[in-house]
Amino acid sequence: MDQQKKTILIVDDEKPIVDILVYNLQKEGYNTLDANDGEEALNIAFEKKPDLILLDIMLPKVDGLTVCKRVRNSFNMPIIMISAKDEEIDKIVGLELGADDYITKPFSVRELMARVKANLRKAEVSMNPTRDFQPNKQIEENQDNIIELGDLILNLDKFEVKVRGKVIDLTLREFEVLRYLANQPGQVVTREALLEKVWGYEYYGDIRTVDVTIRRIREKIETDTSSPKILITKRGVGYYLSSK
């Protein structure tokens, strides 16, 4: 196994899906590991410590949500959950357990690869926040990649969010929600629009996914979640970021 390459653990009990993912991930230059049940997935995750896990929810022996929780309690590697469209409740629970991202079956390989790359990039930036820092580099070059809204600062290059000067640890999806809203401060965005633009879903069966994600963001950035001052709800319509 090439130590220079990122390693992806694929966990799914459907062999055709595993085979497709192994083929495409290796073609993109990744090492792959695979497991067909949750017990095997936990053993591999703890022994091999992969860079990212693609984790199906419905698994024999130990279900994917339990695997997610146990891995998250010990490691900070990105976890992308794979679920069927009718597993909405499981997806909501998965968000609470700390999964970084979701993709629903059937999915396109191109979309999955984009999610894998984005989550790996965010993880790398989080671990090496000053990796690309060059003290003599002109500040002007980065100005367009920083959004400031009152107490909230988004650094789009570092995938970093600061609130009142403190760095906040967000998942990639949480960051993308804030970034989308920050590009249009004060403008109310519907949950359907967020699903389509941020998650890439064109159907509206996962509205609560947006609500749960918003709630998790608020728990991290608001002083009082019962009276949010940064991420505001427009009742019956959607959400917006305060421009103050």
Q: What is the mean pLDDT of residues 176-198?
A: 90
pTM comes to: 0.66
Write down the pLDDT at residue 206: 63
131 pLDDT exceeds 70? no
Q: What is the mean pLDDT of residues 26-41?
A: 96
Spell out the CATH class of 145-241.
mainly alpha
Q: What is the mean pLDDT of residues 46-63?
A: 94
Q: Please classify residue 24 by burial: count the beta carbons closer than 10 Å to its beta carbon, then call 0-12 exposed, 13-18 middle and 19+ buried.
A: middle
User: Which of these ranges, 2-16, 19-33, 45-59, has the smallest mean pLDDT?
Assistant: 2-16
User: What's the 3-state SS for the chain?
Assistant: CCCCCCEEEEECCCHHHHHHHHHHHHHCCCEEEEECCHHHHHHHHHHHCCCEEEEECCCCCCCHHHHHHHHHHHCCCCEEEEEECCCHHHHHHHHHCCCCEEEEECCCHHHHHHHHHHHHHHHHHHHCCCCCCCCCCCHHHHHHHEEEECCEEEECCCCEEEECCEEECCCHHHHHHHHHHHCCCCCCEEHHHHHHHHHCCCCCCCHHHHHHHHHHHHHHHCCCCCCCCCEEEECCCEEEECCC
Q: What average pLDDT does the chain have?
A: 83
User: Which of these ranges, 77-81, 152-156, 160-164, 209-213, has the smallest mean pLDDT?
Assistant: 209-213
Map out the domains of the chain as residue ranges. Answer: 7-127, 145-241
Q: Please, which pLDDT band fits residue 8 given cuts at 50, 70 and 90?
A: very high
Q: Please, which pLDDT band fits residue 87 given cuts at 50, 70 and 90?
A: low
Higher-confidence position of 108 and 86: 108
Which CATH number does 7-127 carry?
Answer: 3.40.50.2300
Write down the pLDDT at residue 144: 58
Question: pLDDT digit string (tens) for 132-148?
Answer: 433 333 333 345 589 99
Residue listed under structure tokens 């996962």? 206
